Structure 1
Amino acid sequence: MSKTKELIVLPGDGIGPEVTKEAIKILQTVCKRHNKKLRIRSFPVGGASIDRYGRPLTEEALKACKESSAVLLGAVGGPKWDDQPKDKRPEAALLQLRKELDLFANLRPITTYKSLLQSSPLKREIVSGVDIMIVRELTGGIYFGRPRFIEQTENGERGVDTLSYTTEEIERVAHAAFKTAANRNRKIISVDKSNVLDSSRLWRKTVQESAKQWPEIELQHMLVDNCAMQLVRNPKQFDVILTGNMFGDILSDEASMITGSIGMLPSASLGEEFAMYEPVHGSAPDIAGQRAANPIAAIASVALMCRYSLDMPEAALEIEEAIKGTLEDGFRTADIYGHSTKEYRATTSEIGSAIDKHLSPNLKPGNLL
């Protein structure tokens, strides 16, 4: 009899609860198909937690995350909480989770679907066949550097943030990237700003040293500004992109438009002991409650969860194929709707249900609309 896995769900704010609801529906379907027992517990996080408890992440929620098999996060933030002190803003919960769970490697796959090529702002021939994995360092760099402050000066205010990396921090995320590349096309492009930044010079030196342990992997280096340009000019040259926290944040959002929408991008944040899965998109408070949110990124994040945390690689493939099939059937949320007669303008739950039907063994082709 299989051991029960525990999933902690942190729905968050805005569209977070809407997309996580659909992701959980899909996860329950594949767990039932593969005879996996799953216990799900939910806790407020971000603004929802501030409203209820006065802080963005409670000790109870953090403790539950540390005792779980995996964490599914929706999204946090919104204008309602913009005036909170920085340690009480919804985003502080996200940074605390990453740090407390030591989730140092963030995997962000960038994959295009044949049926969605017209949704990309780039030409079909440029985006067709793109399959990139961005490996972003997640617990170091400028988002966590000290000191950081705003101070009063004679001429106004001065804001300071510190960008720093240690050899150890770089080595462990580099190892994760090389391991990832070994299961793909064995090519890594490490992205930095070593022509200007000392932290990037250490980054490049350390990655080069780490590469000696992986002689079968081709390693190249690229400056971040050039990488931003190359992602638009020729994204198919990339296989695995390894980069730091801030650069990875920016580049993955840019790369999301290759797929047509940031609503398509899942992510897995992995550490030695813990893992958290979340869509790359934000809380989108402007469309919250309108049933217009794209749940595919959250559902694809559950596929990554099956692959990396729940020991269900077959289920991961099934979910990914179900997403592909649903898109081929013409189901579209507003962010990827192209007004074609072959497309169906769908709500959040309709997309989830269509993907769920593709996972049903009794599904008959052509009966989804």
Structure 2
Amino acid sequence: MTRKVLLLPGDGIGPEITDQAARLLGACQTAGLDIDVEKALVGGAAYDAHGEPLPAPTLEKARAADAVLLGAVGGPKWDAVEDLSKRPEKGLLGLRKHLGLFGNLRPALLYPQLAEASSLKPELVSGLDIMIVRELTGGIYFGHPRGTEERDGERVGYNTYVYGEAEIERIGRVAFEMAQKRGGKLCSVDKANVLEVTMLWRDVMERLAPEYPDVELSHMYVDNAAMQLVRAPKQFDVVVTGNMFGDILSDAAAMLTGSIGMLPSASLNESGQGMFEPCHGSAPDIAGRDLANPLAMMLSVAMMLRYSLGETALAERIEAAVGRVLDDGLRTADLADDSARAIGTRAMGDAVLEAFAQQA
């Protein structure tokens, strides 16, 4: 049966890296993958064309797709848009909401060839392989009431951090099941010493634990987790946490791997449909200059194949191709010790495609 894949290039470097993902999808089709690929606008590009960051036709196509590949959204070009609901980032948040993408998987995997590029000593990160499971549709980013108002002659801003038991249990099961498939260790990150909502979070995780006797559950306050990520990151296997804490910790973990340009992510709903995107942003300062690292986007294709399309062999073939390219010493500017020796976006895409084809 033909599966539908929707490409959303977005803004900044999004179109450049998405072009490389499209080429990789073409190679997968040649290898026997039966997919139908469409493109649509989202983010700032959609706002410029239609006055909305998530036009109705884009959302309709996303709902009909088996998987969505997103480049990146946003940039200073749209900072002056006064209506916050029209900002590019609202396109991303809208997709998460309307598709029910509650579970975000962000691996922090260090390729051995890049140990020297990490911000930590090689001996601290060699062999690093962490999976951060982040709840994506609840927490303080979505809680109500929220806003700004005047109190006693001054402006006051407020947000509400809220989670229900069902939301916590849903993401908890994703994390426990992920730990079962990996090293059997799950660390739940909260701030249960001061926040009632994360006291509930901890209670629900403890209640789930007996259902997964093969998983060792531990708890850690978020401030300590941030410290431990840079002190001894290899102590972690799977980490599960709420939306805001996951947002912060996953970006910190990304830099342990040498470059955020290496890391893909997956956002899944309960039916297995997913949106897959690199962890980096739109990087408007290098857009259009053939400087962007496309590897996170190409590895996002691998995550899509594994988690939404059930094509594990093709996913492993892409990951092996990336490893071979790194073995050959090829680096984009964000990874290179000597920028004069760095290759561009298109050349890196060429190299991955060649290594992919050689495995046929």
Identify the TM-score tier after normalising by the shorter chain. over 0.9
Change (3 A) 1:208 1:294: same
1:350 to 322, 347, 352: 347
The 3-state SS of whatever aligns with 1:259 is coil
Aligned-residue RMSD, C-alpha: 1.3
1:146 to 130, 138, 144: 144
Counterpart for residue 160 of structure 1: 158
The 3-state SS of whatever aligns with 2:284 is coil
Query: Structure 2 CA distance, aligned partners of 1:155 and 1:83?
Result: 27
Q: What's the CA shift string for 1:303-358, capped at 9, x where partnerless?
A: 00010112210011111111111111111111111129xx9411011111101100
Counterpart for residue 251 of structure 1: 249
1:77 aligns with 2:46: no
Query: Structure 1 CA distance, aligned partners of 2:359 and 2:44?
Result: 41
Counterpart for residue 38 of structure 2: 41
1:173 aligns with 2:171: yes
1:207 to 205, 208, 221: 205
Counterpart for residue 291 of structure 2: 292
Counterpart for residue 333 of structure 1: 332
Counterpart for residue 366 of structure 1: none
In the superposition, the TM-score normalised over structure 1's length comes to: 0.95
Identity within the alignment, %:
52
Letter in 2 for 1:119: A
Q: What's the CA shift string for 1:279-307, capped at 9, x where partnerless?
A: 01110101101110111111111000010
The 3-state SS of whatever aligns with 2:26 is helix
Letter in 2 for 1:67: A
Q: What's the CA shift string for 1:100-121, capped at 9, x where partnerless?
A: 1111110001111111111111
1:362 deviates by 7.4
The 3-state SS of whatever aligns with 1:222 is strand
Query: Structure 2 CA distance, aligned partners of 1:262 and 1:83?
Result: 27
Counterpart for residue 236 of structure 2: 238
Letter in 2 for 1:72: L
Give the length in aligned residue pairs: 358
1:183 to 166, 181, 184: 181
Query: Structure 1 CA distance, aligned partners of 2:219 and 2:280?
Result: 28
Q: Which runs of 5+ in 2 are unaligned?
A: none
Is the CA contact (8 Å cut-off) linking 1:143 and 1:246 kept in structure 2?
yes
1:213 deviates by 1.0
Is the CA contact (8 Å cut-off) linking 2:317 and 2:359 kept in structure 1?
no
Query: Structure 1 CA distance, aligned partners of 2:102 and 2:135?
Result: 6
Is the CA contact (8 Å cut-off) linking 1:150 and 1:160 kept in structure 2?
yes
Counterpart for residue 277 of structure 2: 278
Letter in 2 for 1:52: A
After TM superposition, list the pairs within 5 Å mapping 1:295-334 onto structure 2: 295-334=294-333
Is the CA contact (8 Å cut-off) linking 1:330 and 1:344 kept in structure 2?
no
Is the CA contact (8 Å cut-off) linking 1:73 and 1:278 kept in structure 2?
yes
Query: Structure 2 CA distance, aligned partners of 1:173 and 1:228?
Result: 21
Query: Structure 2 CA distance, aligned partners of 1:139 and 1:41?
Result: 26
Query: Structure 1 CA distance, aligned partners of 2:153 and 2:77?
Result: 31
Query: Structure 1 CA distance, aligned partners of 2:319 and 2:116?
Result: 20
Query: Structure 1 CA distance, aligned partners of 2:323 and 2:215?
Result: 30
1:266 deviates by 0.4
1:78 deviates by 0.6
Q: Which runs of 5+ in 1 are unaligned?
A: 364-369
**Structure 1 outlier segments of 4+, above 6 Å:** none
In the superposition, the TM-score normalised over structure 2's length comes to: 0.97
